[in-house]
């Protein structure tokens, strides 16, 4: 056999490596970063609303932040599993946590923000 045929055979026999776990890791890091950003947004809203004498200031921001964080975790988990990444099981806990949070908070968010009754 020639050299080119040997390298082609070696390439065919070598197992394919899966994709790097970019979204599996991002499904943990992105919600943490979003929590940090949401913390400062809620603190600023609380300080601004407390000056006006509101009761439970920053509640809308907390609910919206929870939905955004849950959506980020859910989306990254789904992408990690669908891309067939190397450690795709890393995306499963954030996916389930994000899905549960979205299911739990979505009707409450609609009723608070849009005054919608289910």
CB neighbours of residue 104 within 10 Å: 12
If one compares 1 and 68, the residue with the highest pLDDT of the two is 68
Closest CA to 95 of 78, 110, 108, 118: 78
Query: Quick one: which H or E segment has residue 100?
Result: helix 92-113
Tabulate helix, strand, coil % of the chain (nearest 5): 75, 0, 20
Could you report the per-residue pLDDT of 48-82, keeping only the tens digit for each? 766 666 667 777 788 788 888 888 889 888 888 88
Q: Structure pTM?
A: 0.67
Mean pLDDT of the chain: 77
pLDDT tops 60 at residue 104? yes
pLDDT at residue 31, as a whole number: 87
Tokens 């995306």 belong to which residue? Answer: 91
pLDDT at 1 over 60: no
């Amino acid at each position: 056999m020639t050299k080119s045929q040997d390298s082609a055979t070696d390439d065919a026999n070598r197992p394919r490596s899966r994709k790097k776990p970019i979204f599996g890791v991002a499904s943990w890091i992105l919600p943490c970063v979003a929590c940090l950003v949401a913390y400062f947004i809620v603190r600023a809203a609380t300080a601004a609303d407390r000056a006006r004498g509101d009761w439970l200031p920053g509640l809308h921001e907390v609910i919206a932040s929870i939905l955004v964080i849950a959506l980020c975790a859910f989306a990254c988990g789904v992408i990690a599993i669908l891309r067939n990444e190397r450690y795709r099981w890393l995306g499963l806990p954030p996916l389930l946590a994000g899905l549960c949070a979205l299911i739990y908070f979505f009707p409450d968010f609609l009723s608070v923000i849009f005054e919608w009754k289910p």
